[in-house]
Structure 1
Amino acid sequence: MREISIPPYAPMLMESTRALGYSLEAAIADILDNSITAKATNISIKFIPFGEPYLSILDNGKGMNSVEITDAMRYGSGNPLETRDLDDLGRFGLGLKTASLSQSRKLTVISLKNGKLSGRSWDLDHVIKSGKWSLLVLDKKDMLKFPQIELLQLQSSGTLVILQNLDRVGNGESDFEAAFSEKMDRVREHLSLVFHRYISGESGLKSIKMNINNEPLAPHDPFLINKSTQIMDDEKISIGDHLILVKPYILPHISKMTDAEIKMLGGKDGLTKQQGFYVYRNKRLLIWGSWFRLIRKDELSKLARVRVDIPNTLDHLWAIDIRKSTATPPEIVRKNLSRIVGQITEGSKRTWTFRGKKETDDSIVHLWTRLKTREGILYDINRDHPLVEMLKEKLDLKDHKFLHQLLKMIEMNIPLNSLYIDLTNDEKFKNNELYELTDDIKELAELLLENCKNPEERQRFFDKIESTPPFSQFPGKIVKYLKEVNHA
């Protein structure tokens, strides 16, 4: 038996790996992984959508020499089975090449280390022409022609990545400039989320400054930690000598969030789609918004989010793909997560239905009653509510029928479809947001009190009013006010 070497045909393989499914934002995030692994503390992204369009990424990391940069440009420059440094964000040794060339036909990397520039370039058109793995080695004269090179030269070390011939960025678009700019807006949102722990410089991490066209990126914390609650202690799952850390959060009720926070947390898909596990590998967000089929997503669990931190030593068990965009927890982890999921989603339901409890609490006199029938759920106006009773007493008997028909008409015309759409779109409801004792509420209370015919009725009224919405939202205050103005 003998062996022969059959290296893949370069043009075919390089063109094929362009179809791995990278979006522009995922591709740039993959490139930034290299900058972070190289200990960069400042990363500048530049894009020019007109003239000769290009996209560049400049970092101030440790840089590479001639040998290192050649190895970095090799397809499969790292063995995924080898033990990596604990802070290494790489996986297969493919990310820089596959991510960059998924969006462009020319990738150039220029690096500065120990005062010396080294440059290499993959040009797909040149590879097709040569039919070989023809990596271009750049001399100083070549390198000085590239955009942003003067900024690299001002640093003590660092690396510059330039993408040119951006054929996939504007593919199928009639207005390349507009399409490129719009996609870069998505890149900004994506990076702000994926690297939010690095940008914020949380405990144990050195803060990394990132900008796009000189506009700094702000961290997008998907847990809104300053406002959220943690209803469970942190969990630790052991797999051999390795630890997985699990930290559950419940977002605040939507009425407690600003519009900007709702937009940041929900994105274009809304809070319901973004609920679930947020899996971090070395504190870099990999995947999010999934319950790994342990439960289904619904409106009541939309405030539940669980942070899961995994080390890069467990990559093989999580089946992380080349793009670092999919992962599947191993069985031992799924069993532990399944137990946590039930508790965390129940906490979300309690937070989301906080106001709903008032609609089912028997100690409160509700204006609306909820009935479950064989045909479905029925909402009725409570005919025994003090306001309805007061109105009946002020009407003649012949007008009672009119009142009954009016109430039935209101019940039959609840805008259920609009309410459902607003709820699923994370809209705030202003109807029941009462934060202070307004003049309208005071006037309504006085009208009810005037309807009392004797001291006994007045006392029963005082006993009952604080269990009747909207007065029940101001315990103590409403009775005190009425007694003061009426000297009761």
Structure 2
Amino acid sequence: MSPDYDIASPGAAELFESLRAFGYDLPTAVADIIDNSITAKANNIWISLTWAGQNSRITIRDDGEGMPEDVLLQAMRPGSLSPLAERAENDLGRFGLGMKTASISQCRCLTVMTKTKTTPVAIRRWDLDYIASTGTGEWRLLKGAHLLDAADQSALDSQEQGTILFWDRLDRFVGNASSDDQVAQKHFRERADAVRDHLAMVFHRFLRGRNAIRLYINDRPIEPWDPFLEDCDAVAPLPGETLKMNGEAVEVKPFILPHHSKISTETHALAAGPRGWNAHQGFYIYRNCRLLVAGDWLGLGMQKEEHFKLARIRIDLPSSSDMLWQIDVKKSRARPPAALRKDLLRIARAARSQASNIYRHRGKVLQRKVGSNDVFLWNHVVRRGKTFYKINREHPIVRKVLESASDKAPLRALIALVEQTVPAPLIVINNAETPDGLGRPFEDSSSDLKEAMAEVFRAMIEDGRERSDAARALLTMEPFNQYSELVAVFLEEQSNKETT
């Protein structure tokens, strides 16, 4: 006997409004569309964000394989493929929702136009306002060339194949703003920059190498952002490991990025990433080279702290691991399986320890204990369990000034006053709020740096040091050790003066 049942089809208008609440923002929504283009073997992908107030538009065009009409119809269906279905190795999708949910999260009207080398142009549209207006609850997918004007219909004319998405009625971040609304226009441009930075990060491995794809935003190429600075000699990669689970390999490789004194100011600023140094520490999870999670300790009980910010760990997953790692529809969250947590925690602790050593200048601390007493201007002193910072009286320039002063009392009083009023609480607060906001010593005045260098060098010579010994001391002395090239030029000039 057949069971009794009712057909409980969801209302199209109501379900579409619910699907809009998946939590996409503009950058993650665009990235989800790029996944489809890469899966379609596109070599070039063009993103265009055009400001026109409430008539603003976003288009995403590629030169991939395109779709015949029946495939487009299937692709426009919500849940077009089960997440349990076996996928091709290069498929960056999983839930069969990405193109639809990502698009309608940002716009109320999605139009897709596509063609292949052997089939003509096909056009389909989801129009949420039209669906709501019918009052029928039917899933009416509009079709036909009349949906687009002549200019839009010609968007693929210069290509043999490809697909273009039109996002219209961008209610989520444009709304009813007028075209001359300067505040809304500025926000629109800022979001365009956020899209660029996000795509540079998420697809950085696709944007490099022999078969690299090319991404353009408003006709400008997007340069890759490599979180591991693999082209930088100062990076210290740790040994990689292959973790096995259910017969599948998970590749894990930690990278310890260099202290800012070892790289240029430009490289340091670039390496901070879209969200800053602190936010980008932790694990980076990739599936098929596509970045899913950018800097997260994956719920392993570790917090993001300033002294661990140089630790970044790459994890490469096979495409079949989505369910095990609880990857969400937006491809922005993942959680490791219980069987791998112990190994990941061990690797994370080792990377954090190494990063902390570099950040805390352990080499310099050791040098303070066993090296020369005149290398550092400030000494760290602990008395009765409390921390104080004292100016090092053995520093060459300090000793020279103290010895040469005719009236030492005011100078000693000034030094004591400086020591007792170091704004340590303010420094701690500012560093916590803007961890990358502290400037390098002398970074805004090379002339002052050179003058200080010359005076310290002269003080060491006058104190009876050999020039070679003074030169070695200058190379290790704060803050000159951060400007090794300038020190080398200065010492060469001194050597030339000595020989002439």
Whether TM-score is above 0.5 comes out as yes
Deviation at 1:191, TM superposition (A): 1.0
Query: 1:253 aligned to 2:263?
Result: no
Q: 1:211 aligns with which of 216, 224, 227?
A: 216
Tell me the residue number matched to 1:222: 227
Q: 1:89 aligns with which of 89, 92, 116?
A: 92
Tell me the residue number matched to 2:335: 328
Q: Percent identity at matched positions?
A: 34
Tell me the residue number matched to 1:240: 246
Deviation at 1:58, TM superposition (A): 1.0
Which amino acid in structure 2 is aligned with residue 271 of structure 1?
Answer: W
Judge conservation of contact 1:110–1:159 (CA < 8 Å) in 2.
yes
Tell me the residue number matched to 2:207: 199
Name the CA distance, whole Å, in 1 between partners of 2:242 and 2:9: 44
Deviation at 1:439, TM superposition (A): 6.6
Name the CA distance, whole Å, in 2 between partners of 1:302 and 1:9: 48
Tell me the residue number matched to 2:50: 48
Deviation at 1:11, TM superposition (A): 1.2
Identify if the C-alpha distance between structure 1 residues 359 and 170 changes in structure 2 by more than 3 Å, giving closer, same or farther.
farther
Q: 1:309 aligns with which of 291, 313, 316?
A: 316
Deviation at 1:106, TM superposition (A): 0.8
Which amino acid in structure 2 is aligned with residue 425 of structure 1?
Answer: D
Tell me the residue number matched to 1:410: 418
Name the CA distance, whole Å, in 2 between partners of 1:139 and 1:470: 73
Q: C-alpha offsets along residues 333-363 of structure 1, whole Å, 9 cap, x if unaligned?
A: 2221111112212222233234743763331
Judge conservation of contact 1:143–1:149 (CA < 8 Å) in 2.
no
Alignment map for 1:56-95 (pairs within 5 Å): 56-95=59-98
Name the CA distance, whole Å, in 1 between partners of 2:332 and 2:296: 12
Q: C-alpha offsets along residues 439-464 of structure 1, whole Å, 9 cap, x if unaligned?
A: 75455444444455xxxxx68x9879
Identify if the C-alpha distance between structure 1 residues 194 and 411 changes in structure 2 by more than 3 Å, giving closer, same or farther.
same
Name the CA distance, whole Å, in 2 between partners of 1:477 and 1:137: 71
Deviation at 1:318, TM superposition (A): 0.9
Judge conservation of contact 2:288–2:317 (CA < 8 Å) in 1.
yes
Identify if the C-alpha distance between structure 1 residues 264 and 448 changes in structure 2 by more than 3 Å, giving closer, same or farther.
closer
Judge conservation of contact 1:110–1:143 (CA < 8 Å) in 2.
no
Alignment map for 1:74-473 (pairs within 5 Å): 74-113=77-116, 114-130=118-134, 131-140=136-145, 142=146, 145=149, 147-171=151-175, 175=181, 176-200=184-208, 202=209, 206-227=211-232, 228-267=234-273, 269-294=275-300, 295-354=302-361, 356-357=364-365, 360-365=368-373, 366-395=376-405, 399-416=407-424, 419-420=427-428, 421=430, 424-431=435-442, 441-451=453-463, 470=477
Judge conservation of contact 1:120–1:135 (CA < 8 Å) in 2.
no
Identify if the C-alpha distance between structure 1 residues 417 and 268 changes in structure 2 by more than 3 Å, giving closer, same or farther.
farther
Q: C-alpha offsets along residues 141-191 of structure 1, whole Å, 9 cap, x if unaligned?
A: x25526543131221111111111111121486734333222112111111
**TM-score (normalised: structure 2):** 0.84
Query: 1:39 aligned to 2:41?
Result: yes
**Aligned alpha-carbon RMSD (Å):** 3.4
Query: Counterpart of 1:61 in 2: which secondary structure?
Result: coil
Deviation at 1:483, TM superposition (A): 10
Deviation at 1:136, TM superposition (A): 3.0
More displaced stretch, 345-354 vs 237-246: 345-354
Query: Counterpart of 2:324 in 1: which secondary structure?
Result: helix
Aligned residues: 474
Q: C-alpha offsets along residues 125-150 of structure 1, whole Å, 9 cap, x if unaligned?
A: 1211233333334224x255265431
Deviation at 1:82, TM superposition (A): 1.6
Which amino acid in structure 1 is aligned with residue 414 of structure 2?
Answer: L
Name the CA distance, whole Å, in 2 between partners of 1:342 and 1:255: 24
Query: Counterpart of 2:155 in 1: which secondary structure?
Result: helix
Deviation at 1:274, TM superposition (A): 1.2
Deviation at 1:258, TM superposition (A): 3.8
Identify if the C-alpha distance between structure 1 residues 17 and 446 changes in structure 2 by more than 3 Å, giving closer, same or farther.
closer
Judge conservation of contact 1:92–1:322 (CA < 8 Å) in 2.
yes
Judge conservation of contact 1:281–1:309 (CA < 8 Å) in 2.
yes
**TM-score (normalised: structure 1):** 0.86
Judge conservation of contact 2:229–2:235 (CA < 8 Å) in 1.
no
Identify if the C-alpha distance between structure 1 residues 371 and 359 changes in structure 2 by more than 3 Å, giving closer, same or farther.
farther
Query: Counterpart of 1:47 in 2: which secondary structure?
Result: strand
Identify if the C-alpha distance between structure 1 residues 135 and 120 changes in structure 2 by more than 3 Å, giving closer, same or farther.
farther
